[in-house]
Amino acid sequence: MSPLRFFITKSQFLDRYRLHVSQQSGMESDRRSRYHAYQGLTRHHNAVFSTYDKMSEATRRRCELGYDNPTGWWFKPCQRSNLNGVWGAENASGIYWKSSGNHEFPTFTEMKIRRISGLWSTRQISFGVVLIQIQF
């Protein structure tokens, strides 16, 4: 399966790498398996990237519920995925992807973020694409 594509935007360095998940970005080919993979990020739509030392409000609420995770991700309460978790930990601190109701623990993940320039430059918004490849 080719990498999934999700988009992040950053407006004048103030938007904190907000993630925008669109159905089209996860369903270019192999429709059924890509749809289930896409489900792993739907809950994270419109989330900002946060880390343990620069937490968003959603991250704080999540940590209060006992889901402490010393990594960086587009955290939201009741999240469905984290590919930056602790390797080998099969719990909320680990690397996991939830689709179709099950938490899965990948054996391989790769995430690349690439800048896309020239889109809507009149609004001074820069765009990037997140390419994610997962094997279970």
Backbone phi and psi for residue 81, each to the nearest 5 degrees, phi listed first: -155, 155
The pLDDT tens digits of the residues spanning 47-88 come to 888 776 776 665 555 554 445 667 778 777 767 788 888 888
Question: What's the gap between Cα 59 and its chain centre?
Answer: 14
Secondary structure of 34-72 as H, E, C letters: HHHHHHHHHCCCCCCCEECCECCHHHHHHHHCCCCCCCC
Confidence of residue 37 (pLDDT cuts 50, 70, 90): low
The pLDDT tens digits of the residues spanning 74-85 come to 777 767 788 888
pTM of the predicted model as reported, rounded to 2 decimal places: 0.63
Tell whether the model's pLDDT for residue 30 goes beyond 50: yes
As a whole number of angstroms, the distance between CA 128 and CA 25 comes to 13
